[in-house]
Structure 1
Amino acid sequence: MAVEGTMVAKMRNMGESCCAANRVFVHTSVAEEFASRLAARMAALTVGPGTEPGTDVGPLIDVAGRSKAHDLVRDAVKRGATVLTGGELPEGPGCFYPPTVLAGIAPDSAIIDTEIFGPVAAIRTFETEDEAVAAANDTEFGLAAYLFTQNLDRSLRVAERLESGMIGINTVLVSNPAAPFGGVKQSGLGCEGGRVGIDEFLEYKYLAVPVGA
Structure 2
Amino acid sequence: MADLIDTTEKATGWRGSREVWLAAAREAFLDSGLDAVKIQPLASRLNLSRTSFYWFFADRAALLEALLEDWETVNTGSLVAATHDYAETITEGVLNLIGIFLDDGPFESRLDLAVRGWAHQAEAVALRVNRADDTRLAAIRAMYERFGYGAGEADVRARTVYLVQIGYISMQVHEDTATRMTRIPDYVKTFTGKAPSERELARFRARHGQGA
> Shorter-normalised TM-score: what interval?
under 0.3
TM-score (norm 1): 0.25
Greater relative CO (CA pairs within 8 A, separation 6+): 1
1 or 2, which has the higher strand percentage? Answer: 1
TM-score (norm 2): 0.25
1 or 2, which has the higher helix percentage? Answer: 2
